[in-house]
Structures are given as structure tokens and as C-alpha cells.
Amino acid sequence: MKTLTIECPDGLAKDLDSFVKSGCATDTQETVLEALRKFLNSHRPDLIRAQALDDVEWGLHGND
């Protein structure tokens, strides 16, 4: 397992702490890992490329 060290804006860190303290997550690490996992799943290069191609296709031949 790799350890990552990040700098986080104070407001974002405060929101993260509040989220964990409210019981919505077990701990900060779990929350950050889940957020990173969701971000990477929704920003896969193949998905971004397909969405861009769809946008171009719509721009060229849209049904407006």
C-alpha cells in the first residue's frame, strides 16, 4: 500500500472532519479513498474521450 500526503484547504478539511463526525463515514481516510475512487471512475480517459466524441457528433449533426 502506498502512502499519499496532500495539502488541503482549511475549509475543505473542516467540511471533511464534520462529515466524519456526523457519522456519514467511519474515518477521514475512508472518505478520501471513496472520493478518489469515484473521481477516477468518472474521469477515465476512455469515458472522457467517448463523451467528447459524442459532443462533437451532436455539434456536427445535432437534432435541435
Q: What is the DSSP string of 11-58?
A: HHHHHHHHHHHTTSSS-HHHHHHHHHHHHHHHT-HHHHHHHHHHHHHH
pLDDT, one tens digit per residue, over 7-29 is: 999 999 999 999 999 999 999 99
The phi and psi torsions of 39 (rounded to 5 degrees) equal -60, -50
Check residue 37 and give its pLDDT. 93
Check residue 51 and give its pLDDT. 73
Mean pLDDT, range 33-49, rounded to an integer: 85
Mean pLDDT, range 46-57, rounded to an integer: 75
**What pTM, to 2 d.p., does this model score?**
0.64
Greater model confidence, 17 or 57: 17
